Amino acid sequence: MAQAQQDDKLNLAPKKFNMWIFIFTSFMFFAALTSGFIVYSGGTGHGINAKMPSAFMYSTAAILLSSVTMYLASAAAKGLQFAKQRMYLWLTIALAVVFFAIQVYAWYVLVTQMGIYFSNPNASQSFIYVFTGMHLVHILAGIALLGNTLWRSYRNTPQVKNLFNMQLSSIFWHFVDIIWIYLYVFLLLNQY
């Protein structure tokens, strides 16, 4: 039995390495986007020239809270408290959906109340949609990963694989959280 668990750990190691490669490339992608904004705004003298919608602040609270519930789900999995693990995974997914909905609402506010469209004469304002849109793609991927981890937890997955799934989901979800904080602070610093 111990040999089978050791074999499972060895078979899962390349998947974890792939996750780190994906996170690194995603980080570089967002760094390139923000660098593109800096080059564009530095060359034209245009900032965003708009105050960020307060909805972004509320979505930030939702994603920070989701990181807490994700941490609690991981701790429950390590403690063999599977009912708590599932409950906190459900809460994390719910908060992710709330984050997504608030972000879409922020786009609505940008268009209807502020007159900021994706195709705008001030192209630096379009970066708001690019930053948040690409982040929402990662949120959708995170929801899919969390859903897969939750589904597997209901299937009596061996504990080695359960912990591995939780670890991959945690790594990705906390990364998505950190990227949003980075983007939100970047947008706040470049409002005007």
For the question of whether the overall pTM of this predicted structure is more than 0.85, the answer is: yes
Chain segment 57-70, per-residue pLDDT in tens: 999 999 999 999 99
Average pLDDT of the segment spanning 68-80: 96
Chain segment 2-54, per-residue pLDDT in tens: 555 554 555 777 888 888 999 999 999 999 999 988 888 875 556 788 889 99
Task: Calculate helix-pair angle for 82-112, 55-78, nearest 10 degrees.
Answer: 170
* DSSP label at residue 50: S
How many other CB atoms are found less than 10 A from the CB of residue 148?
13
How many other CB atoms are found less than 10 A from the CB of residue 44?
11
Average pLDDT of the segment spanning 75-100: 97
How many other CB atoms are found less than 10 A from the CB of residue 139?
23
Looking at 1.20.120.80, 1.10.357.10, 3.40.50.2000, 1.10.3720.10, the CATH number of the domain 48-189 comes to: 1.20.120.80
How far apart (Å, rounded) are the C-alpha atoms in residues 138 and 147?
Answer: 14
Chain segment 107-163, per-residue pLDDT in tens: 999 999 888 888 877 778 888 899 999 999 999 999 999 999 999 999 988 888 899
Annotated domain spans of the chain: 48-189
DSSP code per residue over 105-158: HHHHHHHHTT---SS-SSHHHHHHHHHHHHHHHHHHHHHHHHHHHHHHHTTT--
